[in-house]
């Protein structure tokens, strides 16, 4: 299995920033930084919402965005979508079923 993370804020998330962020989750994750055009295409394809929100100062901002996990099989077929907040036991159970099916 390989974890991939795609930033929705490519202007702020430099390779160094994204590498440090991935380390918080799992250092084996790969962080991807799309161009703005690629990000729009990805968001459309995956039906992802994102919007930059002004912060309290002129130079600060945050990103509102949808969150979820897309799990693909070895052939690149989408097999599972896990909504943000899905408990670990349920997600582990579903992934184990998928892994058994690939043997």
The pLDDT value recorded for residue 40 is 94
What's the CATH class of domain 1-66? Answer: alpha beta
CA distance 12 to 29: 19
Q: Residue with structure tokens 């690149």?
A: 76
Q: Which residues of the chain fall short of a pLDDT of 50?
A: none
The pLDDT value recorded for residue 103 is 64
* From-to residues of CATH 3.40.30.10 in the chain: 1-66
The pLDDT value recorded for residue 53 is 92
The pLDDT value recorded for residue 17 is 92
């Amino acid at each position: 299995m390989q974890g991939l993370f795609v930033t929705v804020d490519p202007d702020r998330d430099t390779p160094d920033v994204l590498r440090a962020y991935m380390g918080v989750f799992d250092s084996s994750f790969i962080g991807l930084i799309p161009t703005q055009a690629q990000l729009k295409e990805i968001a459309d394809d995956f039906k992802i919402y994102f919007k930059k929100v002004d912060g309290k100062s002129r130079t600060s901002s945050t990103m509102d965005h949808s969150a979820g996990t897309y799990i693909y099989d070895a052939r690149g077929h989408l097999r599972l979508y896990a909504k943000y907040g899905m408990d670990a036991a349920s997600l582990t159970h579903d992934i184990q079923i998928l892994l058994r099916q690939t043997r």
